[in-house]
Structure 1
Amino acid sequence: MRTPPAILKFYLRLGIVMNTRTGNTNCLWKRDFVLLIFTGLMVLLIYSLTTEKIRTERILVSKLQEKPVLCPVAISEESITPLKNTKHYLVSAFMDQRVKGFDIRIIGIFKRDSINPLHCSFCCGGVCNKTSPATILPHSDHFGFPYTATDVLCQIPKNCDPSSVTVLTQPSSNASDHVFIPIRNKKEEIRFNFTVCISSLFGDYNNVLQFAQTLEMYKLLGVNRVVIYNTSCGPELERLLQSYRQEGFVEMVPWPIDRFLNPSRGWLFSKHGGDLHYFGQIVTLNECMYRSMERSRYVLLNDIDEIIMPYKHENLVSLMNSLEPQHSNVGEFLIENHIFPKKHFEPSGRFHLPQWEKVPGINILEHIYREDPERGVYHPHKMIVKPKLIEQTSVHEVLRKFGERYKVPLEVCRIIHVCVSMRGYLKLEELNEDKRLWD
């Protein structure tokens, strides 16, 4: 603690007195010296106590002036959070200031016939009485299902540094009765070049061999992280994914959508029924894109049985280094899908390895015959996107974006998709031999 000026003057005076006291007044000098020391200590003690009291009173006054409403709210640690007093669900919230007038984007699942005005409520440094009106943007690709992926856009109130947010049906509602979700992407840094988003695993999916081969292929191609949304998978695949998770290559996101809704196993409501398209595929793709927005330069949006494969470059890094200078304003790179029917096998058996025979799943290295797409009908693509230029995505194309679209030529890059044949009537000699995986 700094010595006050009054005490310094006291010690100066004490030194002068000590230097001038001499002779016959020795006893008097000793008495005065003791008195001065005692007086100085008392002054120092009183000054310290007074200063501490003033400081404490100022802190108390400042706190009283703030009049905070403490925020003893519940913060959800789940990937799906029911929204109170509605038929809707919140998934995650992100800082997103790309659209003028808004700061926060909440990814949700909303019932399309029950969308009413809503308000965002923020938890700001322990205070939870900050609200702002919400803008609701249902995604246009809902394929007729009752529920759809939905964005909720909010503006942060003044003098608020929010840590979490929820949505209210009335701005006057007691926010402490609601469950908040944390706000992500506040202090992220670019750490990855490429992230692959796998929409969802369900139905005790257990295609272990193809899954492992695909993940290893993506490692060779330069992918840094694979994000997987897991509703259910088989025990062997669960063990495999845990090993990849422990090494940091796979990020597992629990996706218990079947606890809340009746998710469809198909893409069209009129044909497959259910509440939500394909176990919430569009929701998870958008959530993954925003989850990766501040930490990954590029995001690959495709299924686990699809590999986005460069044909003129050794890896994805070289591919994008070649495309980027020519297409710097492009946010959506469309890659055409090409099917390798799993019913046709490479004849030499080169990769029919005995150590893999008891591993469940498809051995993609045994399937080297590629179908040509039927050009007279719609043919799907998957995407490499720059997430900072994308606002909303569907499965085969981006719905809302800030950048442009570019269809990558087939000779440069295409999808290797080992699955059931789309043109099963084609004979083997009508297919193309393609050993790009072997490279």
Structure 2
Amino acid sequence: MDRIKEFKGKILFILLFVTLLIIIFKLPRTNWSVPPPRRPPATSPPVTKDTITPLKNTKHLLVSAFMDQREKGFDVRIIGIFKRDSIQPLHCFFCSADRLCKETTPSKILQHSDNFGFPYTTTDVLCRIPQNCDASYVTLVTQPEKDATTKHTWLPIRNKNEKKLQFNVTVCVSNLFGDYNNVLQFAQTLEMYRLLGVNRVVIYNTSCGSELDRLLQSYSEEGFVEMVPWPIDKHLKPSPGWHVSQYGGDLHYYGQLTTLNECIYRSMERSRYVLLNDIDEIIMPYKHNDLMSLMKTLEQQNPNAGVFQIENHIFPKKHFEPQRTFNLPQWKGVPGVNILEHIYREEPQRNIYHPYKMIVKPKMIEQTSVHEMLKNYGQRNFVSPQLCRIIHVRVALQGSLTKEQLHEDKRLWDFSKKLILNVDKALKRVGMLSNS
């Protein structure tokens, strides 16, 4: 019996061994031959998360980069702040998600013409992406290079994967600074724009007061406001004014021109229209109930226009509506101006320079200043103040005018019921609504 068991065991072993050999020889040889060499693991380039990035070996600052193929021979536009007397040739250096492109390409540097005498100015740099380079990031270098990603900080190339418009109307608000804390007017303006059909408000913030910061965080969390940090004072001495001879500093008005241009390109592939104005200004239609209805009319009348200039009308904050109809008790503890109380407007002095603000189609814009376009495609249209004008509640421009010499204008009151309700909700969310 023991010999029989031993014999059966040998037979079973032989069968298993033969079966194993058959399996091995049927396997593809590539699976058991010498394995191919391993590729080194991909390393992500150091991509900046800052909104202002110093450019190495220069006196310049980089802000952001965008796909822009409207000018023949170029693919990417970098927006920066350059020192005007230190412009030198620069080369565009690209990187994909895990490797460098093989070559740099020469750049085209375009200083914006409006600098108001300051030593630094908004500057565009146009770049061509090399062939066979799936670029996701870009930087600028003073000499052509081929390696060493760690030496550079890279800008992500925005607008590359935008497929369709997300918004009809975006408002670009440049530059909060100096601990600005006009909470009530800010809330009223944002809610008025929401009633007019605005989908997104982009705000560049250097500094603001603590109450306004709470309000903005609330709007940001719900997605209506997009806050862009703007620490320009950490890099330059920004001017609080328009003219270097009067205010000094390195850069006009905390970099307002740069932020307006950045906002246009940020919105180029996601918004049909962009409004360029300050937070104490409301671009108000007078014959339509919302901005999209206004724009439909303007486009029918001016099919080739990409820029619509809106006339500024000052509502002096020192003159109040006599009945104090909207002197509401729940707003007494909220810092700022109540725009519903100011119904008297100045007639613009059209015989002297009179500033406008703009509604633009972002895809038709190359460069903007504050009150007019520097470079654009298509035509410009000056909109009749009977159709649309700016409600600008601020210090009087023509301070000697009495209330009787001003025009009564209660257009804001047409929206007062919904506006008050929505402002109350916004203030209540951040604990600033009085119960008195």
Question: 1:48 maps to what in 2?
Answer: 27
TM (normalized to structure 1)?
0.88
Tell which deviates more after alignment, 334-343 or 71-80.
71-80
Tell me which residue corresponds to 2:183.
208
Aligned to 1:4: none
- Name the CA shift for 1:74/1:427 in 2 (closer, same or farther; >3 Å): same
Distance 2:359 2:171 in 1: 9
- Distance between the aligned counterparts of 1:404 and 1:389, measured in 2? 9
Instruction: State the partner residue of 2:48.
Output: 76
| 1:316 correspondence with 2:291 | yes
- Correspondent of 1:272 among 247, 255, 274: 247
Cα–Cα, structure 1 residues 273 and 348, in superposed 2: closer, same or farther, change >3 Å?
Answer: same
Identity %: 66
- Residue 410 of structure 1 pairs with residue 385 of structure 2: yes
* Aligned CA distance change for structure 1 residues 365 and 34 (closer, same or farther; 3 Å): same
- CA distances 1:75-129 after superposition (whole Å, capped 9, x unpaired): 1100000000000000000111111100000010000000000001111242224
Gaps of 5+ in 2: 1-9, 415-436
* Cα shift at 1:51: 3.3
* In structure 2, C-alpha distance between the alignment counterparts of 1:102 and 1:274, rounded to whole Å: 34
| Shift of residue 172, structure 1, vs aligned partner | 3.0
**Distance in 1 (alpha carbons) for counterparts of 2:20 and 2:386:** 89
Aligned CA RMSD, in angstroms, stands at 2.3
Q: What is the 5 A alignment of 1:346-365? A: 346-365=321-340
1:431 to 393, 406, 422: 406
**How many angstroms apart in 1 are the aligned matches of 2:231 and 2:392?**
27
Pairing 1:15-164 to 2, within 5 Å after superposition: 39=18, 41-48=20-27, 50-53=29-32, 56-57=35-36, 60=37, 73-128=45-100, 129-164=102-137
State the secondary structure of the residue aligned to 1:91.
strand
* Bigger-Rg structure (1/2): 1
CA distance in 2 between partners of 1:180 and 1:69 (Å) = 20
Unmatched segments (≥5 aa) in structure 1? 1-30
> TM-score, normalising length from structure 2?
0.88
The structural deviation recorded for 1:321 is 1.5
Q: Give the secondary-structure state (helix, strand or coil) at the position aligned to 1:86.
A: coil
Question: CA separation of 1:87/1:69 partners in 2, compared to 1, >3 Å: closer, same or farther?
Answer: farther
CA contact (8 A) 1:125 1:160 kept: no
AA aligned opposite 1:74: P
Q: For residue 165 of structure 1, what is the aligned residue in structure 2?
A: 138
Partner of 1:21 in structure 2? none
The corresponding residue for 1:374 is 349
Distance 1:56 1:302, change over 3 A: farther
Which one-letter code corresponds to 1:136 in the other structure?
Answer: I
Kept after mapping to 2: 8 A contact 1:73/1:177: no
Q: Deviations over 1:135-181 (max 9, x none)?
A: 10010000100000000100001111111111001013755311111
Counterpart of 1:118 in structure 2: which amino acid? Answer: L
Shift of 1:33: 12
Is the 8 Å Cα contact of residues 123 and 130 (structure 1) preserved in structure 2? no
Tell me, yes or no, if structure 1 residue 286 matches structure 2 residue 286: no
Shift of 1:425: 1.2
1:193-252 Cα offsets, whole Å, 9 max, x none, are: 000000010000000000000000000000000000000000000000011001100000
Equivalent of 2:159 in 164, 185, 200: 185
1:244 is aligned to 219
Alpha carbons of structure 1 residues 386 and 182: separation in structure 2 relative to 1, 3 Å: same
Q: Shift of residue 284 of structure 1?
A: 0.3
Shift of 1:403: 1.6
Structure 1 residues 54, 416: CA separation in 2 closer, same or farther (over 3 Å shift)?
farther
Secondary structure, counterpart of 2:154 in structure 1:
strand
Structure 2 vs 1, CA of residues 400 and 54 (structure 1 numbering), >3 Å: closer, same or farther?
A: farther
Count of residue correspondences: 405
